[in-house]
Amino acid sequence: MSVEIDKQNSVILPEAVFIIGTYDEAGVPNAMNAAWGTQTDFNEITISLSKHKTTDNIEKTGAFTVAFGTVDTVTICDYFGVETGNKVNKIEVAGCHVRKSDKVNAPIIEEFPLTLECKVKSWNVDEGILVGEIVAETADDSIITDGRVDLDKMKPIIYDSAIHAYRGIGPVIATAFEEGLKIKMTEKQWDSQ
């Protein structure tokens, strides 16, 4: 028996815990939490955003960073989603430290180990769709193994929209582009069908 899920609560998995970093016109850094986003090309990220202090900032600077929530930063991540930079300096209240990206006019929050540095490619205010060109990505060396980002060290989190919770991610269970070969037929097998 199948159960229909309420349309207002579509469960799309996995959802991200993106932390979008921006500066306002006075150079004050801000950060917000966004779940509705994904990679849409090799160097492109697309995020669905309502109007926020963050979008006001993006309209002024044309730039933003995207850090990834981790087990160690989960409290800060949620705070960035329940408070607005229109009222307080969230970075200061959260006790975070920022430095300006060398590549774009946006802050890198040092408490987060992996950050994309993005230029606005397009911002559709009516539809609330932000597309960013990823011009650089910076990682803390504490999460690198053999030159690659190591998720076991980084401990990223995802957003579970079914129960409004943050979850860790589990171990590797299979190798992509290989696992399916176990059941993929060869041309010879097709021909003999």
Ligand X SMILES: Cc1cc2nc3c(=O)[nH]c(=O)nc-3n(C[C@H](O)[C@H](O)[C@H](O)COP(=O)(O)O)c2cc1C
Residue 15 or residue 140: which is nearer to ligand X going by CB? 15
Q: Looking only at residues 30 through 59 of this chain, which bind ligand X when binding is defined by CB under 6 A?
A: 30, 32-36, 48-50, 52-54
Q: Are 69 and 14 in contact (CB under 8 A)?
A: no
Which position has the token pair 């059941």? Answer: 183
137 part of the interface to ligand X, by CB under 6 A: no
* CA–CA dist 120, 169 (Å, integer): 29
Measure CA of the first residue to CA of the last residue in the chain; give whole Å.
34
Residue closest to ligand X (Cβ) = 81
From the list 24, 44, 78, 111, which residue makes contact with ligand X (rule: CB under 6 A)?
78
Residue 144 or residue 169: which is nearer to ligand X going by CB? 169
Local structure of residue 49 (DSSP, 8 states): -
Instruction: Provide the mask over 139-168, with x wherever binding to ligand X is found by CB under 6 A and - wherever it is not.
Output: --------------------x---------
* CA–CA dist 160, 79 (Å, integer): 17
- For ligand X (CB under 6 A), the number of binding residues is 20
Beta bridge partners of 168: 157
14 part of the interface to ligand X, by CB under 6 A: no
